[in-house]
Amino acid sequence: MLRKVLIANRGEIACRIIRTCHRLGVATVAVYSDADRDALHVSLAGEAIHIGPSPAAESYLRGDKIIEAALRTGVDAIHPGYGFLSENPDFADAVTSAGIRFIGPSPDAIRAMGLKDAAKALMEKAGVPVVPGYHGTEQDPDFLLAEAERIGFPVLIKARAGGGGKGMRRVEDAEAFREALVSAQREASAAFGDAACLIEKYIAHPRHIEIQVFGDDHGNVVHLFERDCSLQRRHQKVIEEAPAPGMPDDMRIAMGEAAVKAAMAISYSGAGTIEFIADASDGLKADRFWFMEMNTRLQVEHPVTEAITGVDLVEWQLRVASGEPLPRSQDELFISGWAFEARLYAEDAERGFLPATGRLAHLDLPEGLARVDSGVRAGDRISPFYDPMIAKIITRGPDRQTALSLLSAALAEVRATGVTTNAPFLRRLTIQPDFVEGWPDTGLIDRHLAELTIGQAPSREVMALAAVKLCGALEPKPDSEPWDRLSGFRLWSQASDFVELDYRGQHVPVSLGSVGEGAYAAMVDGRPVDFRLSRLGAEACLLEAAGRKHRVHLVCGERDVTIFGDGESWHFGLIDPLAGEDETADGGGRIVAPMPGLVKLLRAAPGAAVTKGEALAVMEAMKMELTLTAPRDGTIAEVLVSQGEQVVEGAVLLTLEPEPEAGEPKDG
């Protein structure tokens, strides 16, 4: 077994690797950037080495600094995790040249699968079914358009390098092809340093099913069955499960054999994933799946495979890197139960899944209901420099229904404040009828986006509870009951109080009175509400109204409270009645940065006429591109940033000329 390992990564995966190393008695070394100086993975490792500034390009993507740290600390091996340098063959070469073991496949294997066009050609030669398309090197737009027309629209433009949905565009017709190609090439170039794209036939009812493979240095290769990763948004996986629902035995056998054949074609050693696309228009069939690509690393969703096979895949990686043969043969591997994984992100589903940054003021994760793999704690900052994942929540049950019910219950117990999370969106997915019935496909989220992203409005009782908390009625006081804040003496009337709440920009007036121990009468936005409260703990209350009781949790800041209940969350602020209105309101004449990021493209100049919805700028933040559009028709007044400039959240990028007053003629 290896003696000491450096983890060339951060966050959740670094913590995941460290925990298995500790269980096996392997010493660990972490690396960190300026932004991660106090990160969880740094505190878990035996040693930690600073490798540079916060941007990944200056730290986690600096292979030379990572190898220098490995040599300084005398490690036997480097584990790259996933992302960053994990699929960089030059880094793997440099690691081995330095006399250190790279925990992953050989550089040649990474190169063979690193470019999708070359990988597909190799798979065709090996007898693995490949999706119809153009996988050559010619990049002339006219030529690629002709190939798309030959294949037949709709088609999928895909970057030949990298993954994660970067440089991928679905195109419905020839008219939209050129603009989509330019956009895909620009994103691919920024993400992977390679703008080349390939063209594939778009499958109308696709299922994304992948096979976990594992090889060793003794010529052994096995598969550990399939994962269904069809629930996606913008080609990014959201919830994964294993095994795949509706998978017939003959198809499972055929896919497993094809995956092993693919791995053996490149003498693969270590953990890898063969990704297939399946046509589910007539159910899953053994002759209706095709190779898409291979990920030559551990996958984010590997825990669901671990849950149904009882295998620690990181332990297998360490053993194979130590020169040991695979711990089990194919006939010793079998599926037991069902598992799901949900990716909990700092993002706002109601605002187009905009990534969120800031400090995690409060964080409760459902450790008792699920396996939780996380790289952050309460008090940590979600940085704009890296992927905004908070945790992976994994559940397992004897069958699909049980495992999914457990996932739904676990997501309902997530309580985070300080940044917005996608927990309510994920929970709505777990009760979406098509998904519950076992019919996921890659278009499901887009088809049901409105119902999945529109949050449940807070009831008047919940708003009244927020008012109770914010006016101090729930705060215990010495020598008194915690509910008596509103029960003092008043001449001719009961005690009362008044607060004005802010809920997502709306002002909600609430007057509140106590009518007995734990009982209240309120007027919420002019409508009466009677309710009763019972404290269940430091944060939990039992809210009773209209003959119904339900448990809620309250997490408070200085002038705000977040209430969690029924799998939803509602954040309320306390409005200062002496504060004036926002003096910066200008009728929608500004285009501002919704979060910190890089201005990738500007499409406007002072004096240019624009129409509502027209794309004016493209920003890149947290691995995604955001297109900012004109809020109304008008004329560009100022462009306040430059292309390539890093901006902070709320920075004004462009302004429009003021709208003419009523009756005033417009210019021209």
Cite the active site residues: 297
SS3 call for 44: helix
Please say whether the beta carbons of 564 and 496 come within 8 A: no
* Strand 540-545, strand 560-565: pairing: unpaired
Which tokens hold the place of 506?
A: 């709306």
Longest alpha-carbon distance in the chain: 91
Kindly report the CA angle at 570 between 566 and 573, in degrees rounded to 5? 155
The count of C-alpha atoms lying within 13 angstroms of the C-alpha of 170, restricted to the half-sphere facing its C-beta, is: 11
The owner of tokens 């598969």 is 223
Over 490-528, what HEC string results? Answer: CCCCCCEEEEEEEECCEEEEEEEEEEECCEEEEEECCEE
* Strand 568-574, strand 560-565: pairing: antiparallel
Query: How many other CB atoms sit within 10 Å of the CB of residue 281?
Result: 13
Task: Supply φ then ψ for residue 55, to 5 degrees.
Answer: -55, 135
Kindly report the CA angle at 55 between 318 and 162, in degrees rounded to 5? 60
DSSP assignment of 90-132 equals HHHHHHHHTT-EESSS-HHHHHHHHSHHHHHHHHHHHT--B-S
Over 343-385, what HEC string results? Answer: EEECEEHHHCCEECCEECCEEECCCCCCEEEECCCCCCEECCC
* Strand 168-171, strand 590-592: pairing: unpaired
**Sheet of strand 77-79, all strands in order from the earlier edge strand to the far edge:** 47-52, 27-33, 4-7, 77-79, 101-102
| C-alpha distance across the termini of the chain, in Å | 78
Report d(CA 166, CA 164) in Å as an integer.
6
Over 246-282, what HEC string results? Answer: CCCHHHHHHHHHHHHHHHHHCCCCEEEEEEEEEECEC
Report d(CA 238, CA 441) in Å as an integer.
12
